[in-house]
Homo-oligomer: A and B are copies of this chain.
Amino acid sequence: MPLSAQEEPKGAPAPSEIVAAAPAADWVAIAAEDLLVMTLAPDAEGKPRQVVIQLMPAPFSQGWVHNIRLFARSGWYDGISVNRVQDNYVTQWGDPNYDNPEATGTPKPLPEGLKVMGEDEYAAQISASVSPYLWFRDHRVAFDGFGKSESVQLRPVPRRANFFDPYSPIVTFSSGFPIGTAFSPNRPPELGWPVHCYGMVGVGRNYSPDTGSGAELYTVIGHAPRHLDRNIALVGRVIEGMQHLSSLPRGSGALGFYTAEEAAKRTPILSVRVASDLAPSEQPAFEYLSTESDVFATYADAVANRRDPFFITPAGGADICNIRVPVRRAE
């Protein structure tokens, strides 16, 4: 917790310095079709509040992602609100009159054309679009693709840190997102699933067999609730404006819902747009550091072994949710 910008002692590069030095070719543009721009009502000082969400890439959660674009394009999200803020858990938005113990009106009709997904769609067959570096519980391997009979070709690489995970046999990254998997040598490709890190966006649902439509969304505002992995669909993550959702007043009702008396605390959502539907001059442009790049593996190792000046004892390991995929505005 250094308190000022005093001159720093010299040391190994910090993870942020490794990212800053990454070659331009290792940054991947995010398609405008995969960006949602959510505009909240201005804050108490009248300042605008905008949140940008990157939607989950294939092969994960594509049915829900379809629905979310449909909700956005039909204008269904316009006029909904943030109805639930539970400390160290989630901020959730949707129709304040839908299945809410504090509802005072009638629910908004859903648009036509929504898909209904099965629980098996919380995971998907992972493909070659995963990081070439997989972090097993006790070592790191390089993924060399699929061989005969679709067996998995892995090659050990020097172990530089522990990436033990209590929730998944293996953790890795796919197209910029953290995933868990049971991927193993000499076996066909296995299922993978996105994991509940800070800022990830998921789909509220009711009890099984309901899987949610995408009308109710939430983002994680506390320690990763990884017990929700494979139990709820994850559809993306907040890449800008997270503070507008994480710093909202907590609700005092059950599960952090705002009570009827607190209805004025519900933050109005003015609009949600797919970025590709905006005028070109209004489209935000973002890129992420390729999780398939060598520089990303170097970055992950540095996160796990902090040797920059503030640190006196490197951890020798890192939690998948602390290996945050670098995302930045594209020029």
Instruction: Tell me whether A3 and B206 are in contact (CB under 8 A).
Output: yes
* In the assembled complex, A315 has its CB within 8 A of some CB on chain B: yes
Contact of A88 among B2, B137, B246 (CB under 8 A): B246
Per DSSP, are chain A's interface residues mostly helix, strand or loop, or mixed? loop
Knowing A119-B312, A224-B223, A315-B227 are in contact, say whether A1-B321 is a contact too (CB < 8 A): no
Chain B neighbourhood of A304, CB < 8 A: 166
Chain B residue nearest to A94 (CB atoms) is B3
Contact of A322 among B98, B216, B225, B248 (CB under 8 A): B225
Knowing A166-B165, A242-B88, A247-B250 are in contact, say whether A206-B318 is a contact too (CB < 8 A): no
Instruction: Tell me whether A2 and B164 are in contact (CB under 8 A).
Output: no
Knowing A197-B223, A227-B303, A312-B208 are in contact, say whether A250-B254 is a contact too (CB < 8 A): no
- Closest Cβ–Cβ distance, residue A100 to chain B (whole Å): 6
Instruction: Tell me whether B313 and A88 are in contact (CB under 8 A).
Output: no
- What's the tally of chain A residues with a CB closer than 8 Å to chain B? 75
Contact of A229 among B197, B218, B315 (CB under 8 A): B315
Chain B neighbourhood of A247, CB < 8 A: 85, 87, 246-250
Instruction: Tell me whether B226 and A3 are in contact (CB under 8 A).
Output: no
Chain B residue nearest to A205 (CB atoms) is B1
Interface centre among A161, A227, A249 (most CB of B within 10 A): A227
* In the assembled complex, A309 has its CB within 8 A of some CB on chain B: yes
Instruction: Give the contact stretch, choosing among A4-12, A65-73, A143-151.
Output: A4-12
6 smallest A-B Cβ distances: which pairs?
A166-B317, A164-B164, A1-B204, A3-B99, A243-B250, A230-B313
